[in-house]
Amino acid sequence: MFVCSNHVKDALKLMYVPHIKLITEEEGFRCHLCKNKAKYKLFQYYHQRNMTRKAI
């Protein structure tokens, strides 16, 4: 999920154990909540970790 500075707190509330990464303006992503330019990438490893466990 990509978000602008105004929606970081709102997006964090929607995610399970979120991780945050600052992104560059050149990447051109938009906030999922308001469509302004995104400044942060919020992501989680929970789903990926479960898929790895199932594969093993």
Rounded Cα distance, 25 and 27, in Å: 5
For residue 32, the model assigns a pLDDT of: 92
> Which of residues 15 and 40 earns the better pLDDT score?
40
Per-residue pLDDT at 17 exceeds 70:
no
pLDDT digits (tens, 9 = 90+) for 18-27: 678 889 888 8
Tell me if 16 sits within 8 A of 46, measured CB to CB. yes
- What's the predicted TM-score (pTM) here? 0.54
Is the Cβ–Cβ distance between 18 and 42 less than 8 Å?
yes
